């Protein structure tokens, strides 16, 4: 069974996706208050994610959650770079698993506030 990962989109991320062709794949949550992309995750890649990141789990909706923030950040970066929601973005993220784990270890010590441009 395929699963999915939700990538939330703020205005800055929306600007990076502008013209990529992914705009029509944006979904709205909570009455349109949040924008997101749902990345379909094949079973094989789901198993790799769950094995690589010990906090990751699959919720009742079939969504992979509780992955490190660094994982989600890199996932968005790969989506923006490759202009795709295909399995190649997930493979590119998993190829950087060691870097993500290092960043995740720092997150558990201190999660910095996001950079917000005014």
The one-digit pLDDT tens for each residue of the chain (118 residues) are 789 999 999 989 999 998 888 989 999 988 888 899 999 999 999 999 999 999 999 999 999 999 999 999 999 999 999 999 999 999 999 999 999 999 888 876 766 677 777 7
Torsions phi, psi for 84 (to 5 deg): -150, 155
How remote is the C-alpha of 93 from its chain's centroid?
9
Per-residue pLDDT at 32: 80
Give the span between the Cα atoms of 17 and 3, in whole angstroms: 23
Scan for tokens 């959650």, then name that residue: 65
Sign of the four-CA dihedral 10, 17, 2, 108: negative
Per-residue pLDDT at 20: 86
Per-residue pLDDT at 41: 95
Per-residue pLDDT at 92: 96
pTM assigned to the model:
0.85
| Domain segments of the chain as ranges | 3-109
Closest CA to 92 of 71, 61, 118: 71
């Amino acid at each position: 069974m395929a699963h999915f990962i939700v990538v939330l989109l703020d205005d800055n991320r929306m600007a990076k996706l502008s013209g990529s062709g992914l705009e029509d794949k944006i979904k709205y949550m909570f009455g349109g208050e949040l924008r997101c992309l749902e990345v379909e995750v094949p079973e094989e890649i789901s198993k790799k994610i769950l094995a690589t990141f010990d906090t990751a789990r699959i919720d009742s909706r079939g969504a992979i959650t509780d992955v490190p923030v660094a994982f989600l950040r890199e996932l968005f970066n790969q989506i923006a770079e490759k202009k795709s929601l295909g399995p190649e973005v997930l493979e590119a993220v998993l190829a950087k698993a060691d870097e993500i784990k290092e960043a995740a270890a720092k997150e558990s010590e201190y999660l910095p506030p996001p950079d917000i441009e005014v």
